[in-house]
Amino acid sequence: MLEVKIEQYPKARFSYGGDAYNSAYYLALQGNNVYFMSSIGSDKPSQRLLQQWKKDGVKTDFVHVSKQKKLGLYCIETDSSGERSFSYWRDNSASRYFFLEADTKQLLTQFNRGDWFYFSLISLAMLKEQSRAGFITFIKALRQQGVSLAFDNNYRPELWESQALACDYLDQVLPLIHMYLPSVADEMALRDATQKSVLAQLSALKIAEIVVKNGADSCHLYTSSGHYRYQFESVVAIDSTAAGDSFNAGYISARLNKKSAQAAVESGCQLASQVIKHPGAIVPADKLTLR
Protein backbone atom coordinates (compact mmCIF):
# COMPACT_ATOMS: atom_id res chain seq x y z
CA MET A 1 0.00 0.00 0.00
CA LEU A 2 1.00 3.60 -0.41
CA GLU A 3 1.88 5.16 2.94
CA VAL A 4 1.22 8.78 3.86
CA LYS A 5 3.08 9.82 7.00
CA ILE A 6 1.82 13.02 8.63
CA GLU A 7 4.96 14.76 9.88
CA GLN A 8 3.66 18.22 10.76
CA TYR A 9 0.18 18.80 9.44
CA PRO A 10 -0.44 19.59 6.61
CA LYS A 11 3.03 18.41 5.58
CA ALA A 12 3.31 14.70 4.79
CA ARG A 13 5.81 12.20 3.43
CA PHE A 14 4.86 9.51 0.91
CA SER A 15 6.31 6.02 1.17
CA TYR A 16 4.99 2.45 1.05
CA GLY A 17 4.45 -0.41 3.44
CA GLY A 18 2.06 -2.91 4.93
CA ASP A 19 2.80 -5.44 7.65
CA ALA A 20 3.61 -8.42 5.41
CA TYR A 21 5.70 -6.33 3.04
CA ASN A 22 7.58 -4.74 5.93
CA SER A 23 8.65 -8.20 7.08
CA ALA A 24 9.49 -9.22 3.50
CA TYR A 25 11.70 -6.14 3.14
CA TYR A 26 13.67 -6.80 6.32
CA LEU A 27 13.99 -10.50 5.48
CA ALA A 28 15.43 -9.59 2.08
CA LEU A 29 17.87 -7.11 3.65
CA GLN A 30 19.31 -10.00 5.64
CA GLY A 31 20.12 -11.93 2.47
CA ASN A 32 17.14 -14.27 2.33
CA ASN A 33 15.43 -15.35 -0.89
CA VAL A 34 12.08 -13.56 -0.51
CA TYR A 35 9.05 -13.47 -2.80
CA PHE A 36 6.11 -11.15 -2.10
CA MET A 37 2.59 -12.25 -3.02
CA SER A 38 0.01 -9.52 -3.55
CA SER A 39 -1.95 -7.64 -6.20
CA ILE A 40 -1.37 -4.15 -7.59
CA GLY A 41 -2.94 -2.06 -10.33
CA SER A 42 -1.67 -1.22 -13.80
CA ASP A 43 -1.53 2.50 -12.94
CA LYS A 44 1.72 4.47 -12.65
CA PRO A 45 1.92 4.45 -8.81
CA SER A 46 1.53 0.65 -8.87
CA GLN A 47 4.29 0.23 -11.43
CA ARG A 48 6.61 2.56 -9.52
CA LEU A 49 6.00 0.49 -6.41
CA LEU A 50 6.70 -2.74 -8.28
CA GLN A 51 10.06 -1.39 -9.43
CA GLN A 52 10.88 -0.22 -5.91
CA TRP A 53 10.18 -3.69 -4.48
CA LYS A 54 12.66 -5.12 -6.97
CA LYS A 55 15.24 -2.54 -5.89
CA ASP A 56 14.58 -3.59 -2.28
CA GLY A 57 15.64 -7.12 -3.21
CA VAL A 58 12.13 -8.55 -2.90
CA LYS A 59 11.16 -10.81 -5.81
CA THR A 60 7.84 -10.02 -7.47
CA ASP A 61 7.08 -13.19 -9.45
CA PHE A 62 3.95 -13.74 -7.32
CA VAL A 63 2.60 -10.19 -7.70
CA HIS A 64 -0.63 -10.07 -9.71
CA VAL A 65 -1.38 -6.98 -11.81
CA SER A 66 -5.08 -6.11 -11.86
CA LYS A 67 -6.52 -4.27 -14.86
CA GLN A 68 -9.51 -2.96 -12.89
CA LYS A 69 -8.16 -2.04 -9.43
CA LYS A 70 -5.51 0.28 -8.00
CA LEU A 71 -3.33 0.49 -4.90
CA GLY A 72 -4.74 1.01 -1.44
CA LEU A 73 -3.52 3.85 0.75
CA TYR A 74 -3.06 4.34 4.48
CA CYS A 75 -2.17 7.33 6.62
CA ILE A 76 -0.10 7.20 9.81
CA GLU A 77 0.05 9.81 12.55
CA THR A 78 2.56 9.30 15.37
CA ASP A 79 2.34 10.85 18.84
CA SER A 80 5.22 12.08 21.01
CA SER A 81 5.86 8.58 22.42
CA GLY A 82 6.11 6.96 18.99
CA GLU A 83 2.67 5.32 19.13
CA ARG A 84 0.69 5.34 15.92
CA SER A 85 -2.86 5.82 14.69
CA PHE A 86 -3.97 4.63 11.26
CA SER A 87 -6.52 5.66 8.65
CA TYR A 88 -7.20 3.43 5.62
CA TRP A 89 -8.47 3.90 2.06
CA ARG A 90 -8.39 0.35 0.74
CA ASP A 91 -11.99 -0.75 0.08
CA ASN A 92 -11.39 -0.97 -3.66
CA SER A 93 -7.67 -1.79 -3.64
CA ALA A 94 -6.29 -4.49 -5.92
CA SER A 95 -4.95 -6.57 -3.04
CA ARG A 96 -8.46 -7.15 -1.67
CA TYR A 97 -9.36 -9.07 -4.83
CA PHE A 98 -6.23 -11.23 -5.10
CA PHE A 99 -7.95 -14.58 -4.56
CA LEU A 100 -10.73 -13.65 -6.98
CA GLU A 101 -8.40 -12.66 -9.83
CA ALA A 102 -5.05 -14.46 -9.47
CA ASP A 103 -4.40 -18.03 -10.68
CA THR A 104 -3.69 -19.60 -7.29
CA LYS A 105 -3.47 -23.13 -8.73
CA GLN A 106 -0.53 -21.96 -10.83
CA LEU A 107 0.98 -20.24 -7.78
CA LEU A 108 0.87 -23.48 -5.80
CA THR A 109 3.10 -25.18 -8.37
CA GLN A 110 5.85 -22.64 -7.59
CA PHE A 111 6.21 -23.70 -3.94
CA ASN A 112 8.56 -26.47 -2.83
CA ARG A 113 8.69 -28.66 0.24
CA GLY A 114 10.75 -26.84 2.87
CA ASP A 115 9.72 -23.35 1.77
CA TRP A 116 8.22 -20.96 4.32
CA PHE A 117 5.07 -18.88 3.80
CA TYR A 118 4.54 -15.91 6.13
CA PHE A 119 1.22 -14.10 6.53
CA SER A 120 -0.81 -12.27 9.16
CA LEU A 121 -4.35 -11.68 10.31
CA ILE A 122 -4.22 -8.47 8.28
CA SER A 123 -3.57 -10.63 5.20
CA LEU A 124 -7.03 -12.08 5.81
CA ALA A 125 -8.66 -8.88 7.03
CA MET A 126 -7.88 -6.92 3.89
CA LEU A 127 -9.50 -9.48 1.57
CA LYS A 128 -13.07 -9.34 0.38
CA GLU A 129 -15.13 -11.76 2.46
CA GLN A 130 -15.64 -14.10 -0.51
CA SER A 131 -11.83 -14.22 -0.97
CA ARG A 132 -11.04 -15.30 2.59
CA ALA A 133 -12.23 -18.87 2.13
CA GLY A 134 -9.95 -19.08 -0.90
CA PHE A 135 -7.02 -17.93 1.22
CA ILE A 136 -7.70 -20.62 3.85
CA THR A 137 -7.90 -23.25 1.09
CA PHE A 138 -4.62 -21.94 -0.33
CA ILE A 139 -2.67 -22.20 2.94
CA LYS A 140 -4.11 -25.68 3.58
CA ALA A 141 -2.80 -26.72 0.17
CA LEU A 142 0.60 -25.21 0.97
CA ARG A 143 0.78 -27.19 4.19
CA GLN A 144 -0.11 -30.40 2.35
CA GLN A 145 2.77 -29.69 -0.04
CA GLY A 146 5.22 -29.52 2.86
CA VAL A 147 5.45 -25.74 3.05
CA SER A 148 5.90 -24.39 6.60
CA LEU A 149 3.56 -21.61 7.74
CA ALA A 150 4.48 -18.64 9.95
CA PHE A 151 1.76 -16.29 11.18
CA ASP A 152 1.31 -13.03 13.12
CA ASN A 153 -1.99 -12.09 14.78
CA ASN A 154 -1.81 -8.42 13.71
CA TYR A 155 -5.29 -7.14 14.51
CA ARG A 156 -6.80 -3.96 13.10
CA PRO A 157 -10.46 -3.81 14.23
CA GLU A 158 -11.36 -1.27 11.55
CA LEU A 159 -10.53 -3.82 8.82
CA TRP A 160 -12.97 -6.43 10.13
CA GLU A 161 -16.74 -6.59 9.97
CA SER A 162 -16.72 -7.74 13.60
CA GLN A 163 -14.37 -8.91 16.34
CA ALA A 164 -16.11 -12.30 16.34
CA LEU A 165 -15.36 -12.78 12.64
CA ALA A 166 -11.68 -11.95 13.18
CA CYS A 167 -11.52 -14.53 15.98
CA ASP A 168 -13.25 -17.11 13.79
CA TYR A 169 -10.60 -16.77 11.08
CA LEU A 170 -7.82 -16.75 13.66
CA ASP A 171 -9.15 -20.04 15.04
CA GLN A 172 -9.21 -21.52 11.53
CA VAL A 173 -5.57 -20.58 10.98
CA LEU A 174 -4.01 -21.66 14.30
CA PRO A 175 -4.26 -25.46 13.73
CA LEU A 176 -2.44 -25.07 10.39
CA ILE A 177 0.66 -23.09 11.34
CA HIS A 178 4.14 -24.14 12.44
CA MET A 179 5.33 -20.81 13.86
CA TYR A 180 3.15 -18.27 15.69
CA LEU A 181 4.39 -14.71 16.29
CA PRO A 182 1.55 -13.00 18.20
CA SER A 183 1.58 -9.84 20.26
CA VAL A 184 0.00 -9.81 23.71
CA ALA A 185 -1.83 -6.56 22.92
CA ASP A 186 -3.51 -7.96 19.82
CA GLU A 187 -4.40 -11.22 21.55
CA MET A 188 -5.95 -9.31 24.46
CA ALA A 189 -7.99 -7.18 22.06
CA LEU A 190 -9.15 -10.18 20.05
CA ARG A 191 -10.11 -12.32 23.04
CA ASP A 192 -11.23 -9.59 25.48
CA ALA A 193 -8.77 -11.19 27.88
CA THR A 194 -6.19 -10.21 30.49
CA GLN A 195 -2.47 -10.49 29.87
CA LYS A 196 -2.21 -13.38 32.32
CA SER A 197 -4.98 -15.39 30.67
CA VAL A 198 -3.63 -14.65 27.18
CA LEU A 199 -0.20 -16.03 28.07
CA ALA A 200 -1.82 -19.13 29.59
CA GLN A 201 -3.91 -19.70 26.46
CA LEU A 202 -0.96 -19.20 24.12
CA SER A 203 1.27 -21.56 26.08
CA ALA A 204 -1.36 -24.30 25.71
CA LEU A 205 -1.51 -24.14 21.90
CA LYS A 206 -0.19 -27.16 20.01
CA ILE A 207 2.14 -25.16 17.78
CA ALA A 208 5.82 -26.08 17.44
CA GLU A 209 7.15 -22.57 17.98
CA ILE A 210 5.40 -19.60 19.61
CA VAL A 211 7.10 -16.23 20.08
CA VAL A 212 4.94 -13.82 22.06
CA LYS A 213 5.79 -10.12 21.80
CA ASN A 214 4.80 -8.06 24.83
CA GLY A 215 5.50 -4.57 23.53
CA ALA A 216 8.66 -2.91 24.81
CA ASP A 217 8.52 -4.96 27.99
CA SER A 218 9.36 -8.56 27.23
CA CYS A 219 9.07 -11.56 24.96
CA HIS A 220 7.99 -15.14 25.70
CA LEU A 221 9.23 -18.14 23.73
CA TYR A 222 7.40 -21.47 23.86
CA THR A 223 8.97 -24.51 22.20
CA SER A 224 9.10 -28.23 22.88
CA SER A 225 12.15 -27.59 25.08
CA GLY A 226 10.35 -25.20 27.41
CA HIS A 227 9.24 -21.65 28.17
CA TYR A 228 11.73 -18.78 28.06
CA ARG A 229 11.12 -15.16 29.04
CA TYR A 230 13.26 -12.29 27.77
CA GLN A 231 13.43 -8.81 29.26
CA PHE A 232 14.29 -6.01 26.83
CA GLU A 233 16.49 -3.00 27.40
CA SER A 234 14.58 0.27 27.18
CA VAL A 235 14.81 1.96 23.76
CA VAL A 236 13.45 5.41 22.89
CA ALA A 237 11.07 4.92 19.96
CA ILE A 238 10.80 7.52 17.23
CA ASP A 239 8.24 5.46 15.29
CA SER A 240 7.00 1.99 16.22
CA THR A 241 5.24 1.38 12.88
CA ALA A 242 7.28 -1.69 11.92
CA ALA A 243 8.45 -2.82 15.36
CA GLY A 244 6.67 -6.16 15.29
CA ASP A 245 7.20 -6.68 11.56
CA SER A 246 10.96 -6.17 11.80
CA PHE A 247 11.17 -8.35 14.93
CA ASN A 248 9.44 -11.13 13.00
CA ALA A 249 11.88 -10.70 10.11
CA GLY A 250 14.89 -10.85 12.41
CA TYR A 251 13.54 -13.92 14.18
CA ILE A 252 12.53 -15.81 11.02
CA SER A 253 15.81 -14.97 9.27
CA ALA A 254 17.79 -16.37 12.19
CA ARG A 255 15.74 -19.57 12.18
CA LEU A 256 16.13 -19.94 8.40
CA ASN A 257 19.87 -19.68 8.94
CA LYS A 258 19.82 -22.51 11.51
CA LYS A 259 20.13 -20.41 14.65
CA SER A 260 18.39 -21.65 17.79
CA ALA A 261 15.02 -20.20 18.73
CA GLN A 262 16.65 -18.52 21.73
CA ALA A 263 19.30 -16.87 19.54
CA ALA A 264 16.59 -15.90 17.04
CA VAL A 265 14.76 -13.89 19.73
CA GLU A 266 17.92 -11.86 20.24
CA SER A 267 18.18 -11.30 16.48
CA GLY A 268 14.59 -10.11 16.32
CA CYS A 269 15.11 -7.71 19.22
CA GLN A 270 18.34 -6.38 17.76
CA LEU A 271 16.71 -5.52 14.43
CA ALA A 272 13.48 -4.08 15.87
CA SER A 273 15.38 -1.89 18.34
CA GLN A 274 17.11 -0.21 15.38
CA VAL A 275 14.05 0.12 13.17
CA ILE A 276 11.99 1.99 15.78
CA LYS A 277 14.66 4.69 16.03
CA HIS A 278 13.77 5.88 12.51
CA PRO A 279 10.57 7.30 10.99
CA GLY A 280 8.45 5.13 8.71
CA ALA A 281 8.01 1.42 8.18
CA ILE A 282 10.84 1.01 5.66
CA VAL A 283 14.25 2.03 7.01
CA PRO A 284 17.08 2.18 4.43
CA ALA A 285 19.71 -0.52 4.76
CA ASP A 286 22.52 2.01 5.27
CA LYS A 287 20.90 3.12 8.53
CA LEU A 288 20.86 -0.40 9.99
CA THR A 289 23.51 -2.75 11.31
CA LEU A 290 22.56 -6.20 10.03
CA ARG A 291 24.04 -9.33 11.53
Q: Mean pLDDT over residues 59-68, rounded?
A: 94
Least confident of 23-37, 61-75, 240-254: 61-75
252 three-class SS: helix
Least confident of 4-18, 56-70, 172-186: 4-18
Q: Count Cα neighbours of 19 within 13 Å in the Cβ-side half-sphere.
A: 23
At 276, which CATH number? 3.40.1190.20
Q: CA 101 to CA 89: how far, in whole Å?
A: 20
φ, ψ dihedrals at 43, nearest 5°: -75, 170
> What is the residue type of 36?
F
At 88 the pLDDT is 83
At 56 the pLDDT is 96
Taking the complete model, does pTM exceed 0.85, yes or no? yes
Taking 90 as the threshold, does the pLDDT of residue 205 lie above it?
yes
Tens digit of each residue's pLDDT (9 = 90 or more) over 76-105? 887 877 677 888 888 889 999 999 988 988
Taking 80 as the threshold, does the pLDDT of residue 291 lie above it?
no
* Structural domain count of the chain: 1
Q: CA 22 to CA 58: how far, in whole Å?
A: 11
204 lies in which domain range? Answer: 2-287
- By annotation, the residues acting in catalysis are 245
Q: CA 282 to CA 208: how far, in whole Å?
A: 30
Taking 80 as the threshold, does the pLDDT of residue 216 lie above it?
no
What are the helix and strand counts (H, E) for the chain?
A: 11, 12
Tens digit of each residue's pLDDT (9 = 90 or more) over 103-115? 988 999 999 999 9
Q: Is 103 exposed, middle or buried (CB count within 10 Å of its CB: 0-12, 13-18, 19+)?
A: exposed
Predicted confidence band of residue 228 (pLDDT cuts 50, 70, 90): very high
Q: CA 109 to CA 134: how far, in whole Å?
A: 16
Residue 258 to residues 154, 206, 255, 263, 280: CA-CA distances in angstroms? 26, 22, 5, 10, 30
